[in-house]
């Protein structure tokens, strides 16, 4: 029992990354209809951002946590303005190919500069050691990741559901034409939302730097699971992406514990099941029922 | 619904992709006994992927260095002046390795191929070498199959294999009191091979493998295994990780985070290169034990060569680089003695050869399976304050004599056809 609880906790921690990444992917898809294949590359850039900020500028982990997502969010906005925007009116496949290409270019640029080996990055000193969580001890840093990601997810949810900005974004996401007809400039929000989604990926990247291997391939391996998470959670559903993120985290952790060999396929089995039984996702609403 | 379908389709396609993945001669002149009047050495290696730093461009450079040194040493009596080195990137894929090897032997007049990291790729090249009756010196790959069931008279296995890694690390640590092991290994050919070798070595030395778990590959989250380790019964003394590259970095970071060393569980690494230590950093690894075929700071002879290598490339060599040089040099010297680059003639010189150079100590090229056996080293990662320079990562714990380090020839299962 104790070990099961511990695995669930472990799962929640790795789910934190899934949740943050899926959240960004889902918001971008909702607003722009773009399947952002470069999301994993932005996650990777976030981690490298933390490494570069420390090596070149001496910025601590804490500052990197703020600065890196802002900078990469800006880069995201620039890319949206210059590239993504030109293709949004065409078949979604065009943007899929564009972002896929972007992902390859970003990855190769990082590889040219840093090679294929991982870059060292230490945990911040305040988060060394472990917490006593009653039943078991758990590394401080991982507890921090979990708490932090939950706070970010809640904050995003509050903004989207309780503020005027959020209302506009949600309305533009679900019924762009109708929202436009009501006199709201939908286009104005597209760029910031894309930037915001990218910033979330970068944030996850910074969080990953102290506990995971920082190399050019780190995003490519993860992105496929994130796509599955978004499908399972339900497209465009903010709550769904986050909930599915933590759920998948737990599923893989428990899977790893009991049947390590199967754990990689579990996510995709679940995805197949969801697509069969509830095509809109666990928390998504059926679109275009009328 | 349309958008959902697009996204779903993309995600499903990706998922399928992931799951499925888990699955003539040149100009001839009558130039005596040297074919085409020149010797061509081909290096097939990973020039762009995960092994491009531990092997890669610098492996090619090491072979070129051997050629230059050979020419200098035999300025007056060299069997030929024309020695060339060509290289190709196999991207760690067996089918590409196969094609490149054929091209090299058939069209580029290559007489011997070197390096070839990734076991499946090396086995493919061994097969082509056998068909073409040209030589192949495997250095970068570690499968014992090359000198076992799939051995052939034209293939030599030079630097290391999974048996020798397990023998050095598994047996020695168990003998030193680390009796209970928890092994984690990536779920692909090399990982499974390593797991088998380690289980045999640990049990052979009287230890127990409490559990061994296959982990997904690639994997960035090993927390499950780290939390599982202390709760196993009996509690393991050693966590043996067979992961490599980025996965190994993840394991080490998370091993430290979960404070397993403080809980009395030591870390032993199946296969590690200096390039891995550089990327993880010395501090998280200090005290970690692993077996290596060679390391540059071993002694004066090794250092002297490593200094020359550094002058040429700007970097300290990994054992793969050193072994590429050594193999190329032994090959060229064999041609010099034989007076021909004909594979059969060179084979006669190499079979049973006993030698000793800066890389291979007390070495024998075994006739029975073409395993080039030599002393291997159990080493420990230094503490930061013990390091004399940036790349001075390891110190010697114990030398494993050549005769004990490798699988006995009678167990290899090799039958030279």
pLDDT at B2 over 70: no
CA distances A212 to A121, B58, B256, B348, B404, Å, are 9, 27, 12, 50, 37
Q: Does A96 touch chain B (CB under 8 A)?
A: yes
Q: Which tokens sit at B186?
A: 């990536």
Which chain B residue has the Cα nearest residue A275?
Answer: B8
CA B138 to chain CA centroid, Å, is: 8
Contact state of A287 with B281 under an 8 Å Cβ cutoff: no
Encode pLDDT of A57-96 as tens digits.
Answer: 999 999 999 999 999 999 999 999 999 999 988 888 999 9
Nearest chain B residue to A234 by CA: give it. Answer: B4
Contact A139 B278 (CB under 8 A): no
pLDDT in tens, B368-382: 999 999 999 999 999
- Check residue A289 and give its pLDDT: 39
Residues of chain B neighbouring A261 (CB-CB closer than 8 A): 187, 214
A176 touches chain B (CB under 8 A): no
Q: Which residue of A has its CA nearest to B248?
A: A213
The answer to whether residues B90 and B121 touch, using CB atoms and an 8 Å cutoff, is yes
Q: A174: nearest CA in chain B?
A: B3
- Convert the pLDDT of each residue in B21-67 to its tens digit: 444 333 333 334 888 889 999 999 999 888 888 999 999 999 999 99
Secondary structure string (H, E, C) spanning B283-352: HHHCCCEEEECCCCCCCHHHHHHHHHHHHHHCCCCCHHHHHHHHHHHHHHHHHHHHCCCCHHHHHHHHCC
- In chain A, residues with a C-beta closer than 8 Å to the C-beta of B313 are none
- The pLDDT confidence band at residue A114, using thresholds 50, 70 and 90, is confident
pLDDT in tens, B168-205: 999 999 999 999 999 999 988 789 989 999 999 999 99
| Three-state SS sequence of A12-67 | HHHHHHHHHHHHHHHHHHHHHCCCCCCHHHHHHHHHHHHHHHHHHHCCCHHHHHHH
User: In sequence order, what are the beta bridge partners of B155?
Assistant: B136
Q: From CA A286, how far away is CA A230, in angstroms rounded?
A: 15
**Confidence label for B19 from pLDDT (cuts 50, 70 and 90):** low
CB contact B24 to A (< 8 Å): no
Question: What DSSP string describes chain A?
Answer: -HHHHHHHHHHHHHHHHHHHHHHHHHHHHHHH----TTHHHHHHHHHHHHHHIIIII---HHHHHHHHHHHHHHHHHHHIIIIIHHHTTS-HHHHHHHHHHHHHHHHHHHHHHH-SSPBP-PPPGGG-SEEE-SSSEEEHHHHHHHHHHHHHHHHHHHHHHHSHHHHHHHHHHH-HHHHHHTT--THHHHHHHHHHHHHHHHHHHHHHTTTS-BSTTHHHHHHHHHHHHHHHH-TT-HHHHHHHHHHHHHHHHHHHHH-GGGHHHHHHHHHHHHHHH-TT-SSPPPSS--
pLDDT digits (tens, 9 = 90+) for A38-51: 999 999 999 999 99
Checking ipTM against 0.85, whether it exceeds it is no
Which range, of A128-142, A143-157, A243-257, averages the lowest pLDDT?
A128-142
Return all residues near B34 (Cβ < 8 A) that are at least 6 apart. Answer: B79, B80, B82, B335, B340, B341
Rounded Cα–Cα distance for residues B382 and B252 (Å): 15
- Chain B CB contacts of A280 under 8 Å are 4
Q: Do B257 and A141 touch (CB under 8 A)?
A: yes
Lowest mean pLDDT among A111-125, A179-193, A274-288, B348-362: A274-288
Condensed to tens digits (0 to 9), the pLDDT of residues B260-286 reads: 999 999 999 999 999 889 888 898 899
User: CB-based contact (8 Å) between B18 and chain A?
Assistant: yes
Number of other CB atoms surrounding residue B134 within 10 Å: 24
Verify whether the Cβ–Cβ distance B11 to A228 is below 8 Å: yes
Q: How far apart are CA A42 and CA A194, in angstroms?
A: 12
pLDDT score, position B17: 63
pLDDT digits (tens, 9 = 90+) for B199-217: 999 999 999 999 999 998 8
pTM over 0.95: no
3-state secondary structure of B115: strand
Subunit contact B281:A120, Cβ cutoff 8 A: yes
What is each CA distance from A259 to A15, A255, B212, B215, in whole angstroms? 19, 5, 12, 10
In the DSSP assignment, the letter for residue B46 is -
What is chain A's mean pLDDT, rounded? 89
Q: Cβ contacts (< 8 Å) between B254 and chain A: which residues?
A: 211
Reply yes or no on whether the pLDDT at A283 is more than 90.
Answer: no
Shortest distance between the Cα of A77 and any Cα of chain B, in A, equals: 22
Interchain contact, A279 vs B8, CB within 8 Å: yes
Cβ contacts of A246 on chain B, cutoff 8 Å:
none
Summarised one tens digit per residue, pLDDT across range A8-41 is 999 999 999 999 999 999 889 888 888 999 999 9
- CB of A130 within 8 Å of a chain B CB? The answer is yes
Average pLDDT over residues B127-155: 95
Distances (CA, A) of A7 to A253, B264, B325: 6, 21, 48
Residue B417 has pLDDT above 70, yes or no: no
pLDDT for res B25: 38
Please indicate if any CB of chain B lies within 8 Å of the CB of A3: yes
B16 or B403: whose pLDDT is higher? B403
Q: Tokens 């890669």 label which residue?
A: B56
| pLDDT tens-digit readout, B64-99 | 999 999 999 998 899 998 999 999 999 889 999 999
Interchain contact A141–B (C-beta under 8 A): yes
Average pLDDT along chain B: 91
Q: Are B329 and B69 in contact (CB under 8 A)?
A: yes
The β-bridge relationship of strands B180-186 and B363-365 is: unpaired
A172 pLDDT higher than 50: yes
B80 within 8 A of B34, measured Cβ to Cβ: yes
| Stronger pLDDT, A230 or A2, i.e. the higher one | A230
Lowest average pLDDT, out of A56-65, A122-131, B34-43, B227-236, goes to A122-131
Check if the beta carbon of residue B165 is closer than 8 Å to that of residue B359.
no
The pLDDT score that the predictor gives to residue A189 is 87
A272–B8 C-beta distance less than 8 A:
no
Q: Do B11 and A271 make contact, defined as CB atoms within 8 angstroms?
A: yes
Band of the pLDDT at B3, cuts 50, 70, 90?
A: low
Q: Does the beta carbon of A167 lie under 8 angstroms from any beta carbon of chain B?
A: no
**Residues forming beta bridges with residue B217, ordered by sequence position:** none
Tell me the count of A-B CB pairs closer than 8 A.
152
């Amino acid at each position: 029992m104790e070990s099961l609880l511990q695995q669930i906790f472990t799962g929640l921690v790795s789910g934190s990354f899934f949740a943050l990444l899926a959240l960004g992917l889902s918001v971008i898809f909702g607003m722009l209809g773009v399947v952002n294949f470069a999301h994993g590359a932005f996650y990777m850039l976030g981690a490298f951002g933390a490494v570069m900020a420390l090596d070149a500028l001496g910025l601590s982990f804490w500052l990197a946590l703020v600065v890196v997502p802002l900078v990469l969010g800006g880069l995201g906005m620039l890319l949206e303005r210059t590239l993504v925007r030109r293709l949004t009116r065409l078949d979604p496949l065009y943007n899929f190919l564009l972002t896929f290409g972007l992902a390859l270019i970003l990855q190769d640029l990082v590889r040219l500069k840093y090679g294929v080996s991982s870059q060292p990055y230490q945990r911040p000193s305040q988060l060394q050691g472990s917490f006593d969580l009653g039943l078991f001890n758990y590394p401080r840093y991982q507890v921090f990741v979990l708490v932090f990601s939950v706070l970010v997810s809640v904050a995003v949810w509050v903004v989207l559901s309780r503020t005027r900005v959020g209302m506009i974004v949600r309305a533009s996401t679900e019924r762009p034409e109708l929202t436009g007809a009501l006199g709201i400039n939908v286009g104005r929000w597209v760029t910031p939302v894309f930037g915001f989604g990218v910033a979330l990926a970068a944030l996850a990247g910074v969080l990953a730097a102290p506990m995971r291997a920082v190399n050019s391939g780190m995003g490519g391996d993860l992105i496929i699971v994130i796509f599955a998470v978004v499908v399972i959670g339900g497209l465009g559903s903010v709550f769904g992406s986050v909930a599915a993120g933590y759920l998948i985290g737990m599923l893989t952790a428990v899977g790893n514990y009991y049947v390590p060999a199967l754990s990689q396929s579990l996510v995709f089995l679940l995805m197949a099941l969801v697509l069969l039984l509830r095509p809109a996702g666990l928390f998504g609403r059926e679109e275009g029922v009328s | 619904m349309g958008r959902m379908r697009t996204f779903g389709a993309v995600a499903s396609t990706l998922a399928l992709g992931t799951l499925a993945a888990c699955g003539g001669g040149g100009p001839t002149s009558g130039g005596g006994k040297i074919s085409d009047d020149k010797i061509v050495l081909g290096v097939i290696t990973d020039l762009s992927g995960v092994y491009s730093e531990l092997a890669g461009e610098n492996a090619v450079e090491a072979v070129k260095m051997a050629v230059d040194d050979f020419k200098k040493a035999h300025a007056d009596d060299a069997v030929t002046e024309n020695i060339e080195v060509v290289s190709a990137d196999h991207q760690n894929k067996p089918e590409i390795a196969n094609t490149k090897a054929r091209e090299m032997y058939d069209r580029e007049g290559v007489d011997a191929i070197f390096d070839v990291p990734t076991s499946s790729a090396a086995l493919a090249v061994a097969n082509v070498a056998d068909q073409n009756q040209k030589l192949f010196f495997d250095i970068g790959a570690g499968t014992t199959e090359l000198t076992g069931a799939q051995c052939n008279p034209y293939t030599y296995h030079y630097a290391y294999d999974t048996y020798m890694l397990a023998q050095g690390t598994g047996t020695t640590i168990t003998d030193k009191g680390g009796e209970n092991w928890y092994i984690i290994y990536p779920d692909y050919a090399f990982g499974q091979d390593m797991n088998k070798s380690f289980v045999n070595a640990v049990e052979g030395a009287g230890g127990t493998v409490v559990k061994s778990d296959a982990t997904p590959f690639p994997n960035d989250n090993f927390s499950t295994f780290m939390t599982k380790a202390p709760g196993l019964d009996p509690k393991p003394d050693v966590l043996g990780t067979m992961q490599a590259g980025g996965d190994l970095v993840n394991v080490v970071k998370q091993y430290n985070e979960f404070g397993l060393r403080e809980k009395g569980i030591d870390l032993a690494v199946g296969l590690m290169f200096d390039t891995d230590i550089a990327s993880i950093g010395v501090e998280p690894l200090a005290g970690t034990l692993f077996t290596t075929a060679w390391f540059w700071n071993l002694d004066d002879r090794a250092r002297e060569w490593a200094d020359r290598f550094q002058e040429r490339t700007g970097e300290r060599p990994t054992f793969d680089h050193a072994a590429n040089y050594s193999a190329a040099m032994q090959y060229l010297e064999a041609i010099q003695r034989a007076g021909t680059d004909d594979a059969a003639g060179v084979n006669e010189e190499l079979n049973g050869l006993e030698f000793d150079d800066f890389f291979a100590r007390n070495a024998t090229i075994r006739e029975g399976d073409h395993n080039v056996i030599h002393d291997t080293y159990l080493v420990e990662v230094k503490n930061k304050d013990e390091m004399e320079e940036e790349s001075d990562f390891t110190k010697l714990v114990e030398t494993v004599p050549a005769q004990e380090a490798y699988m006995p020839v009678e167990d290899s299962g090799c039958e030279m056809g």
